[in-house]
Amino acid sequence: MEQLWPDDPRTMGGYRLLGRLGAGGMGQVYLGRSSGGRMVAVKLVHAELARDPLFRQRFRREVEAARRVGDRWTAPVLDADTESGTPWVATGYVPGPTLADTVEQHGPLPETSVLALASGLVRALQGVHACRLIHRDLKPSNVLVTIDGPRVIDFGIARSVDASVATRTGALIGSPAFMSPEQARGEELSPASDIFSLGSVLAHAATGRRPFGEGLSGLHAVLFQVMQGDPQLGELSGPVRGLVESCLARAPQDRPSLDAILRSLPPFPDAWLPAAVVTELGRHAAGLLDLETPDLQAASGPPPRQPSGPASTDGMVGTQTLSDRRRRTSHKWLVSVAGAAAVAVLTAASVTALAAFTGDDAGDEGGSPSGQDTEGVVPTAMLGTWEGEIESRDSWQWRRITLAPGELNQDVAKIMVARQGLLCEYVGKLASSSPTVALRARLTRSIPAGKCENDLPQELTLKGGQVHWAAGKVTGTFERARHNAVPAALQGRWVGTDEFGKRRVFLISGGAVGTEAVRAKLLTPSGGVVCDSLGVLVSAGGPIIFLATRLLTQSSMCGLNIELQAFKQEGQSLVWGFGDGNTGNEARLQRS
């Protein structure tokens, strides 16, 4: 926070201004205090924008949207004047950094924190959608991190569900890296668009990276990835990955509802942030306690003015901007706090003394319930992708199941089954749950066409860190999938000679499971191509398994048998073989 400049106002409405929180293309944001001692954030619109009738209309819409939505998961609007010469709005001050700043400074959040973040953001979006609004710009810089949960801000582009697609032809409304595919295409939006953005925000919080690319320099590349590409989730695993993947479904109707997501999540915990983040929040609160009301300082001269290039406050609803951390003065943040417990006490005391929140206590709706009924929903601990082999007397198969949030009679699972001669994909409907998840599957894809049959009713039960799968008398044990695509270290061209002296070449790409990510060639001793085929990736790690499904050559010497093939990593080599990689013809491959 910066001290006030001599030409800054000292009051606005009934609020005494204490300092500058940030500036952006839309206006200047100040920290203020009400006559009753409540800390507020006051945003004043730039004079040139105030003279623009279209901008005033947008500002009125922003304030009205924030008024309608305000609850404990957002920054409540306390007062506003949208018609004066200098329009302004005052909201409850939220004493915390943005999620973007938190991840940048402290790194990705742990799984428990991301699940708690999801719970808070879902509740905030429920408030938005209950007002028949779509936020349209949910992103890490529009989420504030506080000791008792996240807060969603910036309703500058929120629009009614019944509103038109956009305000002007060709306008790109929203933040490309976090918008939905339908928003990127300029199509009419539904609340499901915010759910896609939620998935991107959670992915960023869990990995520290944007799932569809970084930076504005590659704007068109980012938009293409959002519309056509697969999210890059790296090593993300467990229930967070399952939740993110379900939210990032390309078709809006395939994304889970907010109610289904919330019911799949654990209760919001009493302590949801890592200790380092809590310590920072405590120091910030201590600095606020030390803050004094400034006197008029015209005689002291202004502080050096810094370049006024727009920061990321454009569209903010009276909240602080921390995205440019280097501009903050730190002399108020010198209080040392010994341990997370002391910080929590200090922060709670600060909140009470400053009356900075809306007054909701933990027992109100939207707080942390003492328990949660998980019957009828997929348990949180089972969300994500599980895979493993199934052996019966007459066959061997590899099965991969991804569980997403959902309720009874909803589609909650994607199932892939690969065995000699067949690749079958299904969608699973939730028949029952808690503790055993029962699925009823319907076929969605068959290779070769028309060869797959309906899948059997099946049950999954969590046992320790594994899932026990059963369909009648056939059973198996699944592990969490380690990868959704082939790791970069194993991608490339691999060459070797099999046990019969045949030269084999494999081109392994980084495609996702379910795509044609492996190209296999069989060569003559002189290097001529006998057989060239593409294979669908079935598993991306431990081992890598693919099913040869499409022939690229028309040679009479090459007949395509749809076979399961696998790679196992051994040191710097890959061992290729049929089936599970342990039987039949094998070859040791070297990178070429």
Q: How confident is the model at residue 502 (pLDDT cuts 50, 70, 90)?
A: confident
Residue 364 among the catalytic residues: no
Asked whether residue 368 is domain-assigned, the answer is no
Active-site residue identified among 8, 71, 101, 137: 137
DSSP-derived letter for residue 141 is: G
Asked whether residue 361 is domain-assigned, the answer is no
Are 414 and 448 members of one domain? yes
Asked whether residue 388 is domain-assigned, the answer is yes
- Rounded distance, CA 265 to CA 260, Å? 9
DSSP assignment of 429-489 equals: EEEE-SSEEEEEEEEEEEESTT---PPPPEEEEEETTEEEEEETTEEEEEEE-S-SB--GG
Are 438 and 571 members of one domain? no
- Rounded distance, CA 201 to CA 102, Å? 13
Asked whether residue 273 is domain-assigned, the answer is no
Are 502 and 386 members of one domain? no
Are 463 and 513 members of one domain? no
Return mean pLDDT, the chain.
78
Residue 365 pLDDT exceeds 70: no
Asked whether residue 363 is domain-assigned, the answer is no
Q: Tell whether residue 139 is among the known ligand binding residues.
A: no
Are 223 and 120 members of one domain? yes
372-386 confidence digits (pLDDT tens): 445 678 887 888 889
CB of 495 closer than 8 Å to CB of 504:
yes
- Rounded distance, CA 380 to CA 437, Å? 12
Across 465-470, average pLDDT: 91
512-543 confidence digits (pLDDT tens): 888 888 999 888 777 788 888 898 999 987 68
Are 386 and 289 members of one domain? no
Asked whether residue 1 is domain-assigned, the answer is no
Shortest CA distance to 432 belongs to which of 479, 372, 390, 374?
374
Are 418 and 525 members of one domain? no
Asked whether residue 366 is domain-assigned, the answer is no
Are 472 and 493 members of one domain? no
Are 390 and 318 members of one domain? no
User: How close are the terminal C-alpha atoms of the chain, in Å?
Assistant: 56
Across 8-29, average pLDDT: 85
Q: Which domain holds residue 148?
A: 111-264
Residue 320 pLDDT exceeds 70: no
The predicted model scores a pTM of 0.59
Q: Over pLDDT 70: what percentage of the chain?
A: 77
Are 525 and 431 members of one domain? no
Q: How confident is the model at residue 393 (pLDDT cuts 50, 70, 90)?
A: low
- Quote the pLDDT of residue 308: 35
Residue 176's CATH number: 1.10.510.10
Domain count, the chain: 4
Q: How confident is the model at residue 440 (pLDDT cuts 50, 70, 90)?
A: very high
Q: How confident is the model at residue 153 (pLDDT cuts 50, 70, 90)?
A: confident
SS3 184: helix
Asked whether residue 269 is domain-assigned, the answer is no
Are 474 and 499 members of one domain? no
Residue 292's CATH number: 3.30.200.20
Residue 503's CATH number: 2.40.128
Are 195 and 233 members of one domain? yes
